[in-house]
Structure 1
Amino acid sequence: MHKKLRKLREDRRMSREAMGALLGISQPQYQRKETGFAPFTEAECEIIAAHFNVPIEEILETSSTTKHNHHLQDDMAQVIYFISDRLIEEIKEMNGFLKKELLEKKEENLKLKEQVEVLQRKLKSKNDK
């Protein structure tokens, strides 16, 4: 995606570390941006364009297709956030339901234990006679 930027940087014999320093970020951060794994900020784009004296659109190849793809990615991210929020709510509801059910089962278990104890006492008293 950012092949032109890499070529410009290499033609000027600039390291990724030097580009990171120019942008005020670390070399690994710059590398992620140059390889397309992280986006450049608007301010970073302006610095790059000024440094190489070319329009940023030319460097980053921001064609209408690229812009369309970014828009689709943003839409997909919104869908994912919506779905994840809904899933979280459903999990919270299910968790509340399960807690309530667990409490009911604990109460039933206590009642059964009491009944067993009563029956054991009756059996013991019957055996003692």
Structure 2
Amino acid sequence: MKNQIAIFIVSCLFSVLSVQGQDNDFFSSPDSVSRITREIELKDDSKPEEVAIIVGDQDSQLMVQIFSIISKGKLVIELYDPFGTKQGKFSVAAQMSATKKEKVQGSMNKRLRDPKSGDWKIKILPKNVEGSILVEVEVIQ
């Protein structure tokens, strides 16, 4: 019985020590989290669009997730910081003929610590696109 108690105490001690060695960001709670989700439908669209993301001086993290699914055309999506520097890009294109049904999915996940404050931009550059885009933005203060 004493051996079982000793083994239990040692196991608990190792568990506590292993948890302390993990990333403290996981356990610390932010002051505030802002989340925005946008769903954009494109119907044979070729008009470029921009989505603005406002990042303040006190914001410590920016997370951008973009998911797309298209059945026609070509789609390019780019992420720019407030100084106009490209921070990410992806593209998807349907390749099958019009007689076949095809759905092409693409995504981009970007996480930035201490992002530059100002107006970030997501540029959506479609060319004859049929499909949808889901943009999820999380700003942590």
TM interval, shorter chain, is under 0.3
What is the TM-score normalised by the length of structure 1?
0.23
Higher helix share: 1
What is the TM-score normalised by the length of structure 2?
0.21
Higher strand share: 2
- Larger RCO: 1 or 2 (CA < 8 Å, sep 6+): 2
Larger radius of gyration: 1
